[in-house]
A and B are shown apart, each in its own frame.
Chain A
């Protein structure tokens, strides 16, 4: 990067400066290893969990069956008309992000974002193959000799295999995993499966291996949105400059008079996967992964100074600490009206979804009155209304449904194309049946403008019985 000069305008673009994060040990690093293992484990293992649902239904615990428009999640089965469950989950995901961001800042970015997790994994592989920071810098500057070619080839191959496994695992969520694996290997899987794997392999390889922090800085909208959700009580990572400054080298045996705790060892900078200096203050590029805290604490331990020169803190803590007051506890930052409100909203949606899940009736039926025309006059003066009824059979076997209206309503039901009032719906299918309600000439429903009517649906041979309220349009005279 050219140095700023008043006479010479700065360059419009600059090459990315490569980042070589150093290995670090500590509390946050261990937390990140644990979370990485957990999340990658869930991602790779989930499609292989089996769940017996009986005949004619898939036995994969989590399955997004796009072809048949069903979503299976363990004991839950979602049909397309129940998409509000998915919408509800998305609302919960949104509120969850608000909650975590306002309470603990960019924890999603630092610990859970796939970009962060896979980049972490790719850096781990990089370290295994090429060594730690200094070895990697050396290799980076080295000419393309045998050693460099070999190491790069091994690293890229390993990255590619991880990338392929990532894209490969994705497609297993959409169809029966064991069958698809066999088909993939034997070349019999659909083109869309190979294409999906190809695209996800390419993006994983490029984003985890090369783009890395640039995705966060240039591509991701989340860092920009977060500013709206953070406030002065939000936990974030900060450098206690009032304790650290003026920074300076500390030589063995010396007592640094007039110097702060920061010995300018650059440990916090060297471990940073984003390539920033946390001592410059809170900045957009910081994903709050906590690795600089581990690095700095290690140094503080060595020079015998108190830990947490760099640490999680809120803006209010800084003001308090500068004045010499004790920082308030983390819990007081986390539990405040804003986060409690988010939690209540989040929990409310969650409880609502669970209640809706258990209130789903065994028979799924939808009655829509035909409004063009609202009624038909038959030759004997009978007023007829038509209804398009959709009956869903969610079971693995055929079911017979009987449709009726209360006798005292004065209405008589009739089914299009059928002589009785029973209709068979095949296993796992939705049937559309036209139902007629007839009101004799001069009867109350025939002469009134609108009459409320309750249509009953009963599954033969079971106790399943539901009703739908609808309306009968008469010939008001």
Chain B
């Protein structure tokens, strides 16, 4: 107990006058050091508002003597990461892209960097899961069916230059006549060739029409889509004999494609992304299950 003689009893402590069910609220004084701490926080607060950005002005705020800025911190942080990644990015650019998958460090970096590039640039059309939109012309990147080739070099070339992209001379560029709209084929011929295509891809079809359609197909379609319908990746001609249809595989959808012809577009990315980003996203796409 304190050095002073005890003179005070609990009953001597003044109350606030508040009473609940006979319980009184005592009005004990606060400890003095507590008040000092309070004053100290005021002093600290004044000092802080001088040292750091604090007081709002018409535009912005007082900058503070220490020049602290969270935006500058972010810029510095991004630069720090860019600097830290500079060497591995250069290694990725210098590497032979076909052998990167054998290098775990480079591959791990490409996977993560590529995923970020993909999320930012590619998901708008190809979807966040890279599965495109079936039947709407946005190809899935997860399957083994590739218009322009699914090996790493072809994927890299497609991303770099784009598809039907007028600003790049090396862009992928496919052509298909609009057989109906341009009146190259008669309506019955179109109906026959559609049945033949349905037959090639193992779907329900009218065998008589399909038999007649074979000749139409060989005359008009086989040059690009090949006699067996397997397509040609050098021309971007899709495989017509498999289970995957970019614009839908139903009788109506195939008819529409033959009548009007359909083409997808994709921007070339070499003026928006750096080479290391393109390589990273190419490796990322290649490792989603469909890469060849």
Q: Mark A residues whose CB is within 8 Å of B.
A: 1, 3-4, 10-20, 137, 140-141, 214, 218, 266, 269-270, 272, 275-277, 280-281, 370, 372-373, 376-381, 384, 386, 416-417, 434, 436, 441
Contacts and interface: CB of A to CB of B under 8 A. Distances in A.
Interface residues of B, number: 38
Contact of A15 (B32, B145, B242, B244): B32
Interface in B1-52: 1-4, 6-10, 12-14, 27, 29-35
Contacts of A141: 3
15 contacts: A1-B8, A4-B12, A10-B14, A13-B29, A13-B32, A15-B31, A16-B31, A17-B3, A19-B2, A276-B1, A372-B129, A373-B131, A373-B140, A378-B144, A386-B142
Contacts of B30: 12-14
A372 B33 contact: no
B4 A372 contact: no
A3 B34 CA distance: 21
A378 B239 CA distance: 12
Interface of B: 1-4, 6-10, 12-14, 27, 29-35, 101, 127-129, 131, 140, 142-145, 202, 239, 242-244, 287, 289-290
B141 to A, nearest CB: 10
Given A13-B32, A14-B32, A214-B31, A376 B242 contact: no
Contacts of A19: 1-2
A436 B289 CA distance: 8
Contacts of B4: 17
A331 B242 CA distance: 82
B6 A416 contact: no
Given A1-B29, A373-B131, A379-B239, 10 more contacts: A4-B14, A10-B29, A16-B31, A16-B33, A269-B1, A373-B142, A376-B142, A378-B145, A378-B243, A378-B244
B13 A4 contact: yes
A427 to B, nearest CB: 15
B143 A266 contact: no
B1 A370 contact: no
B104 to A, nearest CB: 10
Most central of A14, A272, A379, A380 by chain B CB within 10 Å: A379
A70 to B, nearest CB: 22
Contacts of A16: 31-33
Helix, strand, loop or mixed for chain B's interface?
Answer: loop
B30 to A, nearest CB: 4
Contacts, number: 108
A357 B10 CA distance: 53
B131 A372 contact: yes
A379 B140 CA distance: 11
A457 B287 CA distance: 23
A269 B143 CA distance: 83
B9 A14 contact: no
Most central of B1, B9, B145, B239 by chain A CB within 10 Å: B1
B287 A417 contact: yes
A266 B12 contact: no
Contacts of B243: 377-381, 441
B129 A277 contact: no
A416 B31 contact: no
Contacts of A276: 1
Contacts of A378: 143-145, 243-244
B228 to A, nearest CB: 13
Nearest to B35: A13
Contacts of A434: 287, 289
Contacts of A17: 2-4
Given A16-B33, A378-B243, A266 B3 contact: no
Closest 9 CB pairs of A and B: A372-B129, A379-B242, A17-B2, A381-B243, A373-B131, A14-B29, A13-B30, A379-B145, A269-B1
B101 A373 contact: no
Contacts of A376: 131, 140, 142-143, 289-290
Contact of A269 (B6, B8, B202): B6
Contacts of B14: 4, 10
Contacts of A11: 29
A275 B2 contact: yes
A417 B101 contact: yes
Contacts of B244: 377-379
Contacts of B10: 280-281
Nearest to B101: A417
A360 B144 CA distance: 39
B34 A218 contact: yes
Contact of A18 (B3, B13, B29, B239): B3
A357 to B, nearest CB: 33
B143 A379 contact: yes
A378 B128 CA distance: 19
A386 B35 CA distance: 63
Contacts of A12: 29-30, 35
B9 A280 contact: yes
Nearest to A381: B243
A39 to B, nearest CB: 27
Contacts of B9: 280
Contacts of B239: 379
A59 B160 CA distance: 52
Nearest to B4: A17
Contacts of A140: 3
A215 B235 CA distance: 80
B107 to A, nearest CB: 8
A274 to B, nearest CB: 9
Contacts of B1: 19-20, 266, 269-270, 272, 275-277
Nearest to A372: B129
